[in-house]
Amino acid sequence: MTDSLDRLHTAVLAARTADPARSKTARLLRSGRSKMAKKLAEEAVEVVIDAMNGQNDAVVRESADLLYHLVVLWVSAGIDPKEVWAEMARREQLFGIAEKLPKESPKAPSKDLGDASRRKVVALETRRPKRH
pLDDT digit string, tens, across residues 1-50: 678 999 999 999 999 999 999 999 999 999 999 999 999 999 999 999 99
pTM of the model: 0.73
User: Tell me, which fold does domain 2-98 have in CATH?
Assistant: Helix Hairpins (1.10.287)
Domain(s) of CATH 1.10.287.1080: residues in the chain: 2-98
Phi/psi region, residue 130 (left: phi>0; alpha: psi -120 to 50; beta: rest), is beta
pLDDT of residue 76: 96
Among 87, 40, 29, which Cα is nearest to 65's? 40
Of the candidate ranges 47-56, 64-73, 118-127, the one whose mean pLDDT is the lowest: 118-127
pLDDT in tens, 58-112: 999 999 999 999 999 999 999 999 999 999 999 888 888 877 777 765 554 444 5
Q: Which residues contact 39 (CB under 8 A, 6 or more apart)?
A: 28, 69, 72
pLDDT at 96: 81
